[in-house]
Amino acid sequence: MITTDLFSAAELARLCAAKGIQHAVISPGSRSAPLVLAFNKQTASHACA
């Protein structure tokens, strides 16, 4: 199993989208970048940092 930050962020975004979560507010910073990218890749979700 891949355990990178990008994979974990993508999986979290996928699970949130599957549960119907459409918006995510993420603290700004370079370590949050994988989360912002993953949430913005989901077609039904939007993230702001």
Q: Three-class SS string for the chain?
A: CCCCHHHHHHHHHHHHHHCCCCEEECCCCHHHHHHHHHHHHCCCCEEEC
pLDDT classification of 1: cutoffs 50, 70, 90:
low
pLDDT one-digit tens code per residue, 3-37 = 578 899 999 999 999 999 888 899 988 889 999 99
CB 24 within 8 A of CB 45: yes
pTM: predicted TM-score of the whole model, two decimal places: 0.78
